[in-house]
Amino acid sequence: MSQVSDAASHAANNMKPVQVKLVLLGEAAVGKSSLVLRFVNDEFQENKEPTIGAAFLTQKCRLEDKVIKFEIWDTAGQERFHSLAPMYYRNAQAAVVVYDVTKASSLEKAKSWVKELQRQANPNIVIALTGNKVDLVSSRRSRRMSVDNEDEDDDERDAQELDEDEEDDEDYGISRQVPTEEASAYAQESGLLFFETSAKNGQGVAEVFTEIAKKIPLEHILSSTRGGRAGGVNGGNGRVDLQNGANGQRLGGQQDKGGCAC
């Protein structure tokens, strides 16, 4: 009888969402808010206003036989808000540290955030280093491929157009400044997950949160917060499915604007 009760209790616990606190950190204008809005609402806002203080959003996901409720704190990137960051990454189980692949200085800022997290945050925090805005690099690559596929008789004209494209890239700041290999090597050396994403077209965004979910010790969270039995969790082949019911709320009670733009 007790075995049946234990099994039923275990199944019930698995159905209850496991709350996972996640914080986004990074320099201003690297696309943190756009990244989380793509994940939560599958939308992209071209002219997103800067975050003031922090924004709070949630999203439920399913990982194998468990439901995870990501409680996401999207922090402001402006330096004047830096001192507030510990309020949001304190006791967080995960962090997404974002940089812009077209801005080398943003990677340096990301590295400083990683050092701060490793020094002051939860020692078991899962950190994902994420290079955003790869769509800008892709658009440049597409122009290159277009030039390469033209007739050979037009080589001189194509070369001139490519040079002009490269000059335009520099003018608009969309040439890649952070090589994938460099950022990936740093992430590996520092024990971080590594991704490159585009909040604009959604590339790689779901994978960030999927892999984070696999790495988080869910059984440890359950045992510490609900008195469940400690034990291992097989996250190797986990699958995350986005569920309905996401919402967003800024500090001060202001609701994020709704409406799907996907």
List the chain domain ranges: 2-133+179-250
260 confidence band (pLDDT: 50, 70, 90): very low
Q: How far apart are CA 51 and CA 249, in angstroms?
A: 12
Beta carbons within 8 Å of 137's beta carbon, 6+ residues apart: 101, 102, 174, 175, 176
Alpha helices of 16-154 — where are they, by DSSP H?
Answer: 32-41, 85-89, 104-120, 134-148
User: What pLDDT is stored for residue 236 in this prediction?
Assistant: 39
pLDDT in tens, 196-238: 999 999 999 999 999 999 999 887 777 776 554 433 333 333 4
User: What pLDDT is stored for residue 192 in this prediction?
Assistant: 98
User: What pLDDT is stored for residue 219 in this prediction?
Assistant: 78
- Number of neighbouring beta carbons within 10 Å of residue 16: 12
Helix axes 205-215, 32-41, angle to 10 degrees: 80
User: For a pLDDT cut of 70, what percent of the chain falls above it?
Assistant: 66
Fold for the domain defined by 2-133+179-250: Rossmann fold (3.40.50)
- Number of neighbouring beta carbons within 10 Å of residue 226: 10
User: What pLDDT is stored for residue 156 in this prediction?
Assistant: 56
pLDDT(248) > 80: no
pLDDT(247) > 50: no
Q: How far apart are CA 220 and CA 234, in angstroms?
A: 13
Region 150-167: mean pLDDT is: 51
